[in-house]
Structure 1
Amino acid sequence: MLRALVESLTETAVVVSDRAGVIRAVNAVITSWAPRLVAGRVLAETAPAWLTAADASGTATAHGGMGSRQVTARRAELPGGHHAWYLTDVTDARSTDRELRLAHGRAEFLAEASAGLLSSLDPRTCATATAELAASRLADAAVVVSPPDREGLRLTRAVTGRPGVEESALAADPAEVPGLAEALTGFPPPPSRRTDPVRAPDWLLPEGFGTPVSLLVTPLPGDAVPAGALVLLRRPGGPFTVEEEAFARVFAARAGAAISASVRYTEQARSAAVLQEDLLPPRLGPIRGTEVAGSYRPSRETLRVGGDFYDTYPAKDSDGESTVVLGDVCGKGLEAAVLTGKIRNTLSALRLVETDHVRLLTLLNHALLDTAHTRFATMVLAGVTPLGRGQVRLRLTTGGHPAPLILRVSGDVEEAGTSGTLIGAVPDVRATTFTTVLQPGESCLLYSDGVTEARGGVTGREFFGSERLKTTVADCVGMPVESLVEHVEMRTTEWLADRPHDDIALVGVAAPRGTVRVR
């Protein structure tokens, strides 16, 4: 009756044994899975080891393989000292679970990889991160090969479990590794290529790695051009599977994008640095018979350039007039700096053909109005002529700019009597020129409105203002012109107290002090 009942079960595999471990009944399902399990034979001699162990220990549930199947077995006690094992095929469920865990692990790795790759905009750091990440998950070793440059191929090698990376630049032929040359030059990226590891040259392998048993070359696609190639190396353990190759390409796509972005950023930063260097106010050259000093502070310290500028143009003749200019372009940042460069270049050319300040400003105004720029500028021109005996004649002309301040040896501070219209704003320029003579030890300060409009004080909203500036200048009587500029800059900085500010430019012009008696 027991045997008939068991044999009638068609949905679940069943095997029944007695206290002695002898099989008493099986159904057709279990027989198709394990033909050796038949009634009358001993379970321990015919069942898989995992089921035999579970049967001997009295375990209620067990898992294991049965042929090509993955099986879960559950024990049930029966009358008369018999017990039954009900076996369920869980192959598909286990496979799905394994695939889900694998997909989850790969997703976590890609998230970690993205964070690591995007943490730096330095190409070398990105290549290092790519090699280390690949060696930690995709292979026993990984080599990032950068596109050839003047130093040849750049290689970054990482080995699983080995700290750090190996870096080298060498004159090697990528064609020695099948598929590598195509990965370094092809766009769109060629497919990954599995290569005979025996053909791998010594220069490609990490030191002490030995001969790999499997080698995979995967392109690192970049922005319109390849970012390099990733070479994966495996020790004994089997070749790369199709799934592993596909996952390596997904990782390589992210790594290539990160490396390409870092290279592009580095090139742009290098170009910006070259351009900024040319746009920065120059070191003020010496002017015969005159002391000159300058200071510049952009509105954004990280940018280094802005809308304020100054220049000196020494006279060609020993008794000729030199020119000092300080200007302020409307706005700040890179856009204002571009117009600043145009104005400086235009002034440098115009002063060779025109010495009259008003006509010079008129020519500059026409040049700015003829461009697509909608910004205007203010500036002050100072014609500097040494007269001998420590005296210096100044011709001062402003175009919409704050009038210079003159510090007399008596300690009095005078505002130069010059004014004028903005440059690049209206067709007709109107300006007046103020002429004065500096006695030995006297100074003239040219400044931008970033000084007087610096906000600070108790409320943080009060302007530094013209009167406070005059008082600050008066405190510098008898000082060298470098000290005058430094003192005004220091007081302005203290007033700002790290608050946002406009560009600030200062230029001091002084007659040589000699023996000066301060009253």
Structure 2
Amino acid sequence: MTASTPAIGTAPAPAPALLHAVLEAASEAMLLCTTADDVVVLANAAARRLMPGAHPGRQAGTPLPESADSFHAEHEGRQLYGMRRDLGDGHYAWFLQDHTAERERTAALEVERSRTAFLAEAGRRLSASLHVRRCVRTTVELASAHLADAAVVVLPAHRRQSTWTRLLPGLAVEEGTLREPKLAEVPGLAEALGGFPPIPSRWLDPSQAPEWLVPAGFGPVGALLVVPLPGNAEPAGALILIRRGPDSGFSREDEVLARVFAARAGAAISAAVLYREQVDTTAVLQAGLLPPELPEPDGFELAGSYQAARDTVRIGGDFYDVFGPAGSSTDTVIALGDVCGTGPEAAVLTGKIRQTLRALRLVEAGPEAMLKVLNEALLQSGRPPRFVTMVLGSVNRIDHGRVRIELASGGHPAPLVLRSDGTVEEVPTSGTLIGVLPHTVVRPATVELAPGELCLLYSDGLTEARGGPAATEQYGEARLRQALATCGGMPGAAALERIRQLVSDWVRGGQSDDIAMLAVRAPDRTPLSLRGGGAPTPSPYVVAARRGDRRPRNRS
């Protein structure tokens, strides 16, 4: 081995130029500084990009701290993170990283999370109600809290007048009305209510906002955004967002978020409007199908009671009706029936049957003839087969306070008569179902009521109500007879209320069918003024019957 040959296991030291080239090529920013006076000895290309002022021979300045081993700070629009390492021999190094992009991604993620949380809250609150005013108030509350300083919702004009709801900072929700010509004063509002796409905020001049839109105490309007509230086939309204201050504005992201929110708010308001229309329509239809207000005929008393199977639907398949004298006839026609089924479908057929009976009454047809004509009408209606059971009666006052009732039945439970001695009799009338056979069979019967006696017409929902100890036993005709026997001397409405209460106690809150009852009572022979002394006081049950109420009113 010659003297010039390197020893085995050793390598030549790299040249300073090679070390400098390695540092320049490194992707991580590095600064080499002296420990004594913090002068930069070496700064690679990555460090010079992050800190343009870091040149060899200059002191390490901002944002490098003098004593800390690390830092996290903003420098010339960049988020820098650095770590210090002591190298010995009077030198130390800073290793720098650019976290700007990471910070931007984190900030964007936080913004997206915030918007997602806002939309989730909006969806939850807007779907919590089907009340129009509540949905509109929730819309302005959410919009003013998350999207703008103030929010206004304007609903479409109805009879040339619109309603508006507004929420301003520090104030409660305000509501009012606005004439249709005023809508054109707000830039973009007429277009939004017409269903056109929203106009970008930068195209709307906030100085054109009318005085009625925001009060003077709000301050100068700096930015305006009008967004349509999409509805069901037509706009549900428009949302006006207002930001105050000369430097305020809506970014593109803000406008996108406003449109997404407006779509959810519009769907909620549209659903609430549709629900209100359906409720109003249902109320009108129910009003025409509910039991009628009973007349006050001379010589006898009428009382009715009706209870639907479901509390949510006030109408059903059981019904009763009363038709006063018509033409040359002086009698009063009473009817009580039970349509197959329950709910709205049965109620619709009930209404048609009542109208048919009313028309037959005008031609002075008797109970037996009315049932036969009704049977033919149902068979020829063309609808899916639905039958009805019914009792019809013609009521007349005769001499000495007595009342005669001619009854005809079509497959319905026979009426019961409460005599003055407390006994209960069944009227011997029967017949086939109405709407099933081409030729119906009716066996009429006539009953006379002495003063104080009562005839009860009822639907089978009364006797078939299940309850008792096992909640499965039917109330039955025997219990009905016993209950009716205890009603001697009572007014008709009081007797019906007592029976209804006994059946309700039997059911104990369980499910039951529709129940309809109609009572005809001959008046007591002794005048009221002679029984109690002084002026007669009408019973609360009699008052309830005259009003046609389902239940008597408590006079207390």
Which category describes the TM-score, using the shorter chain as reference length?
Answer: over 0.9
8 Å Cα contact 1:158/1:206 also seen in 2: no
Partner residue in 2 for 1:315: 325
2:164 is the alignment partner of 1:164: no
Partner residue in 1 for 2:33: 17
Q: CA deviation at 1:386?
A: 0.2
Residue deviations 1:163-217 (CA, integer Å, cap 9, x gap): 5311111225211112110100125x45555411111001112562122111111
Q: CA deviation at 1:428?
A: 1.3
Of the candidates 368, 371, 374, which is equivalent to residue 361 of structure 1? 371
2:450 is the alignment partner of 1:442: no
Q: What is the CA–CA distance in structure 1 between the aligned matches of 2:328 and 2:455, rounded to whole Å?
A: 22
AA paired with 1:165?
V
Q: CA deviation at 1:435?
A: 0.4
AA paired with 1:114?
G
Q: CA deviation at 1:57?
A: 4.3
Q: What is the CA–CA distance in structure 1 between the aligned matches of 2:335 and 2:116, rounded to whole Å?
A: 61
Q: What is the CA–CA distance in structure 2 between the aligned matches of 1:169 and 1:342, rounded to whole Å?
A: 42
Instruction: Tell me: CA distance 1:206–1:415, structure 2 relative to 1, closer, same or farther (3 Å).
Output: farther
Partner residue in 1 for 2:50: 33
Q: What is the CA–CA distance in structure 2 between the aligned matches of 1:423 and 1:460, rounded to whole Å?
A: 32
AA paired with 1:31?
R
2:487 is the alignment partner of 1:476: yes
Of the candidates 493, 512, 515, which is equivalent to residue 523 of structure 2? 512
What is the DSSP-based 3-state SS (H/G/I as helix, E as strand, rest coil) of the residue aligned with 1:359? helix
What is the DSSP-based 3-state SS (H/G/I as helix, E as strand, rest coil) of the residue aligned with 2:163? strand
Partner residue in 2 for 1:426: 437
2:85 is the alignment partner of 1:85: no
Partner residue in 2 for 1:415: 426
Q: What is the CA–CA distance in structure 1 between the aligned matches of 2:77 and 2:336, rounded to whole Å?
A: 87
Q: What is the CA–CA distance in structure 1 between the aligned matches of 2:480 and 2:105, rounded to whole Å?
A: 78
Instruction: Tell me: CA distance 1:81–1:290, structure 2 relative to 1, closer, same or farther (3 Å).
Output: farther
Partner residue in 1 for 2:343: 333
Partner residue in 2 for 1:215: 224
Q: CA deviation at 1:302?
A: 1.5
Residue deviations 1:45-71 (CA, integer Å, cap 9, x gap): xx2xxx23xx234142x3233334332
8 Å Cα contact 1:21/1:43 also seen in 2: yes
2:280 is the alignment partner of 1:256: no
Partner residue in 2 for 1:396: 407
8 Å Cα contact 1:358/1:430 also seen in 2: no
8 Å Cα contact 2:30/2:96 also seen in 1: yes
Of the candidates 111, 128, 144, which is equivalent to residue 135 of structure 1? 144
Partner residue in 1 for 2:538: none
8 Å Cα contact 2:366/2:394 also seen in 1: no
| Segment drifting more, 114-123 vs 467-476 | 114-123
Instruction: Tell me: CA distance 1:56–1:235, structure 2 relative to 1, closer, same or farther (3 Å).
Output: farther
Structure-to-structure mapping, 1:214-363, within 5 angstroms: 214-236=223-245, 237-316=247-326, 320-363=330-373
Q: What is the CA–CA distance in structure 2 between the aligned matches of 1:227 and 1:106, rounded to whole Å?
A: 23
What is the DSSP-based 3-state SS (H/G/I as helix, E as strand, rest coil) of the residue aligned with 2:299? coil
Q: What is the CA–CA distance in structure 1 between the aligned matches of 2:48 and 2:329, rounded to whole Å?
A: 118
Give the number of the structure whose alpha-carbon radius of gyration is greater: 2
Residue deviations 1:61-89 (CA, integer Å, cap 9, x gap): x3233334332222223213533221222
Structure-to-structure mapping, 1:467-506, within 5 angstroms: 467-506=478-517
Q: What is the CA–CA distance in structure 1 between the aligned matches of 2:266 and 2:322, rounded to whole Å?
A: 48
Q: What is the CA–CA distance in structure 1 between the aligned matches of 2:447 and 2:396, rounded to whole Å?
A: 11
Q: CA deviation at 1:373?
A: 4.0
What is the DSSP-based 3-state SS (H/G/I as helix, E as strand, rest coil) of the residue aligned with 1:230? strand
Q: What is the CA–CA distance in structure 1 between the aligned matches of 2:426 and 2:315, rounded to whole Å?
A: 29
Structure-to-structure mapping, 1:364-379, within 5 angstroms: 364-371=374-381, 372-379=383-390
Q: What is the Cα-based RMSD across aligned positions, in Å?
A: 2.0
8 Å Cα contact 1:366/1:424 also seen in 2: yes
Instruction: Tell me: CA distance 1:405–1:341, structure 2 relative to 1, closer, same or farther (3 Å).
Output: same
8 Å Cα contact 2:163/2:177 also seen in 1: yes
Q: What is the CA–CA distance in structure 1 between the aligned matches of 2:327 and 2:396, rounded to whole Å?
A: 11
What is the DSSP-based 3-state SS (H/G/I as helix, E as strand, rest coil) of the residue aligned with 2:429? coil
Q: What is the CA–CA distance in structure 2 between the aligned matches of 1:283 and 1:291, rounded to whole Å?
A: 13
Instruction: Tell me: CA distance 1:38–1:248, structure 2 relative to 1, closer, same or farther (3 Å).
Output: same
8 Å Cα contact 1:222/1:257 also seen in 2: yes
Q: What is the CA–CA distance in structure 1 between the aligned matches of 2:216 and 2:184, rounded to whole Å?
A: 21
Residue deviations 1:436-473 (CA, integer Å, cap 9, x gap): 11000000011011100000000000000000000000
8 Å Cα contact 2:327/2:362 also seen in 1: no
Q: What is the CA–CA distance in structure 2 between the aligned matches of 1:138 and 1:80, rounded to whole Å?
A: 59
Number of aligned pairs? 506
Partner residue in 2 for 1:75: 84
Instruction: Tell me: CA distance 1:224–1:191, structure 2 relative to 1, closer, same or farther (3 Å).
Output: farther
Q: What is the CA–CA distance in structure 2 between the aligned matches of 1:289 and 1:374, rounded to whole Å?
A: 40
Q: What is the CA–CA distance in structure 1 between the aligned matches of 2:160 and 2:135, rounded to whole Å?
A: 19
Partner residue in 1 for 2:13: none
Instruction: Tell me: CA distance 1:401–1:192, structure 2 relative to 1, closer, same or farther (3 Å).
Output: farther
Instruction: Tell me: CA distance 1:8–1:387, structure 2 relative to 1, closer, same or farther (3 Å).
Output: same
AA paired with 1:216?
L
| Segment drifting more, 173-182 vs 470-479 | 173-182
AA paired with 1:308?
D
Q: CA deviation at 1:319?
A: 7.7
Q: What is the CA–CA distance in structure 2 between the aligned matches of 1:319 and 1:388, rounded to whole Å?
A: 18
Q: CA deviation at 1:138?
A: 0.8
| Segment drifting more, 199-208 vs 260-269 | 199-208
Instruction: Tell me: CA distance 1:335–1:206, structure 2 relative to 1, closer, same or farther (3 Å).
Output: farther
AA paired with 2:266?
G
| Segment drifting more, 357-366 vs 76-85 | 76-85
What is the DSSP-based 3-state SS (H/G/I as helix, E as strand, rest coil) of the residue aligned with 2:155? strand
Q: What is the CA–CA distance in structure 1 between the aligned matches of 2:290 and 2:521, rounded to whole Å?
A: 23
Q: What is the CA–CA distance in structure 1 between the aligned matches of 2:24 and 2:430, rounded to whole Å?
A: 113
Q: What is the CA–CA distance in structure 1 between the aligned matches of 2:260 and 2:456, rounded to whole Å?
A: 63
